[in-house]
Structure 1
Amino acid sequence: MLKAVIFDDEYIVTQGLRMMVDWSRYGIELAGTAADGLSALQMVRELQPDIVMTDIRMPGLTGLQLIEEIAKEMPDTACIVFSGFNEFEYIRKALKLGVIDYLDKPITLEKIDEAISRTIARIGYQQEHTQLKTQVAANKEALLEKATLDLLLLGAEAIPAWRLAYGEAEAKQVIGITILAATGKPDPLLEDHPSYRMVSFPYGKEWIMAVFHSKLPADELWEQLTVLSPQMQETVGSGQTYADLAEAGASLKEAVRALRYAVFLEEKGWTRFEPAEESLPKGLNEREEEIVFCMRTGNKEGLLRQLEEYKHWTEAERLSPELVEQEVLKLAYIGYQVAMEAGGEARTLVPHRELGEMSSRDRMFEWLREQMELLHNFMREDKHAAKHNAVEKALAFIEKHYLESFTLQEVAEHVGMNATYLSLLFKEKVGTSYIKYVTKLRMEQAKMLLHKGMLVNDVSKKVGYYNYRHFTELFKKYAGVTPGQFREGHVGGKTHEQAQEVEEHE
């Protein structure tokens, strides 16, 4: 039901319209009346009516002044003006303000009926127009999400449809793409920036964010991720940035892979595994990626299950013995290379000739299962020595350089191990992830420096953070207060308000 109000300083007008008009017949509730402009404005703000009927001349605020305020605050409200002064200037101003109707006094039931009918029709049109615009916008957004997903899955062949959904003019400005994958819709969510536009949508169990860049390198994106990361309750993994949109699928795979390892390490916020030189074949399919993940994380049950599912896949696809042999050899090679990530020496695989002499699919996969179990056991047994040596070496490196800016990849190169595998070993031995460990060292050092009275910006750089906002967010998450508040709490005993002023000044 629509809501209407009547404003007039003549009591006979407001009461006459209240009593004589059957408002319910129009689907309208008469919510209130007022005799002056100021009371009328207050009533409009409180009741948020759909229809306002007002006299032009009233004490406090004139009807025209009232309509001006309504137009600013509630532009969708329909206004009807009536007056005993038949002057063209009043009519011109009223129409310029967008009133629906202008009625001369005396007001008759016939005039009111016509005005209300026209107003209801106008409101209905506006509502339909608004709904239509909302539906068009929603459909446009849905089409863009669908086109973006097709781009990630199909590559080059989906680019024309994506350009159409994205907007031909805007698409011409896109010079790169980065994909982010999250465990759920991040809060706070990344926002568009003059240098990039985001298209985000759910994809299976993940939340996907496709970032289309109009400027590279993507420094603004990394800065925003860095600053928002400490506030996020979801885990976010990022792929690499590609200049060719046809490579969007590769960025998606990298983002999902980074996300999966971050979840295993129980990391919240943004985690990026820096790209490293790996001996694994490029373009692994989902089954092969699953096998790699199970081996790296020591999940023997999952590994054997994946091998069995791979066997069933070859049966369903009715692959020839030659193709089965190729697939089995590829998996064996992948397993061997994953085992080598630990820096050790695994046993030599059965020669290719011997595998080729096996006549059945079952025998080939039986051989593969034996090889993978041996490699898994080798990794488990070798972990004790490798874990101790590599992690101890990594800890020594971190202890020496934690006040500098360095990456996990640099630490991995120092110890001679794959970065992903090192991060898994580190978590297993130390009990916390590499990122959390380094952050704790830096935050404790920062607390000591702040305690001595060093300026916040100087402390940020001193402990390896050249992004002041990122340091502030990390410190607040770690210590419960901002660096400025912590510093002032230990230097001079200033109040909380003074601490905030000092921090803002710094």
Structure 2
Amino acid sequence: MLKAAVFDDEFIVTEGLKKMIDWSKYGIELVGTAENGTAALSLFEECKPDIIFTDIRMPGIDGLQLVERILSRAPETQCIVFSGFNEFEYVKRAIQLGVVDYLEKPITISMIEDAINKILEKIGEQRMISSLKMKWESSQYELLQKATLDLVQVGSEVLPKWKEHFGEGSDQIIAVTVIAASSEEFLIHDNPSYRVVSIRNGSEYLHFVFHYNNDIDDLWNQLLFLPEEISYHVGSGQTYFLISDLSKSYKEALEALKYGSFLEKNGWTRYENVGSNTNLPGEALEQGEEIIFYIRTGNKQGLLQQVELFANELGAENLNREIAEREILKLVYLAMEVAKETGGDILKIKQSNYLPHVEIKEKKTKEEMLNWLCSQMEMIMNWTLDVRDTTKHAAVEKAIVYMKRNMNRDLTLQEVAEHVGMNATYFSVLFKEEMGLSYIKYVTKLRIDRAKALLKEGNKVSVVSEKVGYHSYRHFSDIFKKHTGVKPSEYKDSV
């Protein structure tokens, strides 16, 4: 409901308009009256009416001064003035101020009702225009959001189109930064030094920050002083000085967000703290890959040797604590990811929750950190071996039953591993440990043994080939001869 107020120093006018006009019929509530300009201004400040009826001549602040002050504070207010003096200068001044109507006293009910209808019509037009403007702005922003995603996914070829949607200010951009969050609760406050385009993309909430100057402290301060009790993750990419590098910052922000989420570390994670380290020696990187290989293959002795080599390489480098800590944690968490291939809950490796990123902070020197690394890797290896021992037999047994039932078709390692709920690489290692043969060799053995039995029963070679999963007769014949020394037809004739 709209609100209205009447200001006039004549009691008969204010009381008459209060009682003689059915305000509710027009969807209006009369919130008050005042007999002088000072009281009228106070009433306006308190009630914020949408419509003002005011006399020009009042004690204190006159009507035109009052209208001027009101419209300077709330330009959308609809004002109607009336006066007993039909003076051109008053009318001219009222029109300049932007009043809706100028009524000459004595005021009649029909005059007020006509003025109200005029106001309602104008308010309706303004609301329609405002609604259309909002829809247009929303549509334009959606186009900008799409163009921004295209810019990071397609590249510079869509830059002209993106600039068109970005509009004024696109040529003033000197740097770009991308922030990714796991929750819509995180917002970046507006700032004259940058413009933000925010987009929800799947489960991520992306904020593309386009800087107009080199001062990015305000942005970082918003991240640095995030409330401690937040329950979401925020990842930031690096700031780049070419719009064409927006995709780099975008990928970095997602990686930082993913890393922070994996660590269950609420708050801000910078890509600089998790990104690639060009200072790390190549030997250490290679040894890191070897460590992962030994965990997968269950080679504890090989693992411990490689961890020691990795620690020696890392210790010999003049790396600051942040880089050393980051690389050690990356290796530990990568080892944990490999350990998760067992299907067990690696986070329950200790009695309490296992939080390496907390434990490493307690180490004061690089030597302590490296000793801690060795102990963690051995602990993860021991846990992995224990889980393997308890799950290996049942998983392989289940796999063999499935393989025997489906040997008449192409049967991949990935399919069988998924059937038993394991990572394919991990399953292949377990299978060889348990059966003494690789997956491929065992499948081949199953098929050849089954082919022998079918040939003994008198089945045609072509039929046997299909039943054991070889849909090329020649390929079946070659494989069969390689494993038995004779062709399928010769084997059939010999039994």
Give the TM bin, normalised by the shorter chain.
0.5 to 0.7
Question: Where does the alignment leave 5 or more consecutive residues of structure 1 unmatched?
Answer: 280-337, 348-370, 399-405, 439-506
- Equivalent AA in structure 1 for residue 33 of structure 2: T
Quote the residue 1:352 is aligned against.
none
How much is the aligned-residue C-alpha RMSD, in angstroms? Answer: 4.2
What is the match of residue 420 of structure 1? 330
Which amino acid in 1 is paired with 2:176? I
| Identical-residue share of aligned pairs (%) | 39
> What is the CA–CA distance in structure 2 between the aligned matches of 1:222 and 1:183, rounded to whole Å?
23
Distance in 2, Cα, partners of 1:183 & 1:150: 21
Which residue matches 1:365?
A: none
1:408 to 305, 322, 347: 322
Distance 1:150 1:205 in 2: 18
Partner SS, residue 172 of structure 1: helix
The residue type paired with residue 231 of structure 1 is L
Matches within 5 A, 1:45-444: 45-167=45-167, 170-185=169-184, 187=186, 189-194=188-193, 196-214=194-212, 220-221=215-216, 224-225=219-220, 228-232=223-227, 233=230, 234-274=232-272, 275-277=275-277, 341=285, 343=287, 346=290, 375=296, 377=298, 382=303, 386=307, 390=311, 406=320, 408-409=322-323, 411=324, 420-421=330-331, 432=358
**Mean Cα deviation higher: 23-32 or 121-130:** 23-32
**2-side partners of 1:436 and 1:44: how far apart?**
62
**For the Cα contact (< 8 Å) 1:346–1:378, is it kept in 2?**
no
**Greater RCO between the two (CA within 8 Å, min separation 6)?**
1
Could you list the per-position Cα deviations for residues 77-134 of structure 1 after superposition, in whole angstroms to 9, with x for gaps in the alignment? 1111111122222222222222111111111233223222221112222222222222
Give the aligned residue type for 2:216: L
CA deviation digits over 1:469-490, x for unaligned, max 9? Answer: xxxxxxxxxxxxxxxxxxxxxx
Q: What per-residue deviation string (whole Å, max 9, x for no partner) do you get for residues 399-434 of structure 1? A: xxxxxxx5623x369xxx577336878996855176
Residue in 2 that maps onto 1:34: 34
Residues 434, 100 of structure 1: alpha-carbon distance in 2 compared, 3 angstrom cutoff: farther
C-alpha change, 1:425 and 1:346, in structure 2 (3 Å) is closer
Paired residues of 2:288 and 2:310 also in contact (CA < 8 A) = no
The 1:263–1:342 alpha-carbon spacing in structure 2 relative to 1, beyond 3 Å, is: farther
SS of 1:107's partner is: coil
- Please tell me whether the aligned partners of residues 235 and 259 of structure 1 are also in contact (alpha carbons under 8 angstroms): yes
Q: 1:235 to 1:191 in 2, by over 3 A?
A: farther
> Taking structure 1 as reference, are residues 101 and 386 closer, same or farther at Cα in structure 2, changes over 3 Å only?
same
**CA contact 2:295–2:303 (8 Å) conserved in 1:** no
For residues 300 and 237 of structure 2, what CA distance do their matches in structure 1 show?
28
CA contact (8 A) 1:387 1:429 kept: no
Question: Contact 1:151 / 1:159 at 8 angstroms: preserved in 2?
Answer: yes
Note the C-alpha offset of 1:242.
Answer: 4.4
For residues 258 and 185 of structure 2, the distance between their equivalents in structure 1, rounded to whole angstroms, comes to 16
**Closer, same or farther: CA 242–436 of 1 in aligned 2, 3 Å:** farther
Match of 2:455 in 1: none
> How far does residue 148 in structure 1 lie from its aligned partner after superposition?
0.6
Return the letter of the residue paired with 2:261. Answer: V
Deviation at 1:163, TM superposition (A): 1.4
SS of the equivalent of 2:33 reads strand
1:213 & 1:143 partners in 2: Cα distance? Answer: 20
Decide whether aligned partners of structure 1 residues 42 and 387 sit closer, same or farther in structure 2, where only a CA change above 3 A counts.
farther
Residue 212 of structure 1 deviates from its aligned partner by 2.6
Deviation (angstroms), 1:200: 1.7
Shift of 1:76: 1.1
- Give the whole-Å Cα distance in 2 for the aligned partners of 1:104 and 1:259: 68
Give the Å deviation of 1:31. Answer: 2.7
* Aligned mates of 1:158, 1:345 — CA distance in 2: 39
Q: Distance in 2 between matches of 1:428 and 1:381?
A: 24
How has the CA–CA distance of structure 1 residues 377 and 253 changed in structure 2, closer, same or farther, with 3 Å as cutoff?
Answer: farther
Instruction: Please say if residues 84 and 105 of structure 1, whose CA atoms lie closer than 8 Å, have aligned partners that are also in contact.
Output: yes
- In the superposition, relative to structure 1, how do residues 214 and 107 fare at CA in structure 2: closer, same or farther (>3 Å)? closer
1:193/1:121 Cα in 2 relative to 1: closer, same or farther (>3 Å)?
Answer: closer
SS of 1:231's partner is coil
Distance 1:391 1:193 in 2: 50
Deviations 1:254-282 (A, max 9, x none): 22112111222233333224343579xxx
Q: Secondary structure of 2:216's match?
A: helix
How many pairs does the alignment contain?
342
Whichever residue aligns with residue 34 of structure 1, its letter is A
Distance 2:222 2:68 in 1: 43
- Post-superposition offset of 1:17: 2.1
Say if 2:3 and 2:28, in contact at 8 Å, map to a contact too.
Answer: yes
Identify the residue that residue 43 of structure 1 maps to in structure 2.
43
Question: Which residue of 1 is the match for residue 456 of structure 2?
Answer: none
- CA spacing shift, 1:175–1:2, aligned 2, 3 Å: closer
TM (norm. structure 1) is 0.57
1:51-79 CA distance string (max 9 Å, x none): 11111122233222322221132221111
Go from structure 1 to structure 2 and tell me whether the alpha carbon gap of 1:267 and 1:344 turns closer, same or farther (over 3 Å shift).
closer
Distance 1:256 1:397, change over 3 A: same
Q: Residue 94 and residue 186 in structure 1: after superposition, are their counterparts in 2 closer, same or farther (change >3 A)? A: same
Structure 2: segments with no counterpart, 5+ residues:
337-352, 365-495
CA contact (8 A) 1:340 1:346 kept: no
TM-score (norm 2): 0.58
Cα 1:375–1:98 change in 2 (3 A) is same
Can you list the C-alpha shifts for 1:225-269, whole angstroms capped at 9, x where unaligned? Answer: 256324253422223444554443343222211211122223333
Pairwise CA distance, 1:162: 1.0
Given that 1:341 and 1:421 are in contact with CA atoms closer than 8 Å, whether structure 2 keeps it comes out as no
State how far apart, in whole Å, the 2-side matches of 1:380 and 1:22 are. 94
Conserved in 2, the CA contact under 8 Å of 1:230 and 1:269?
no
Please list the CA deviations of residues 130-158 of structure 1 after superposition, one character each: whole Å capped at 9, or x if unmatched: 22222222222222111111212222343
Deviation at 1:224, TM superposition (A): 3.2
Shift of 1:166: 0.8
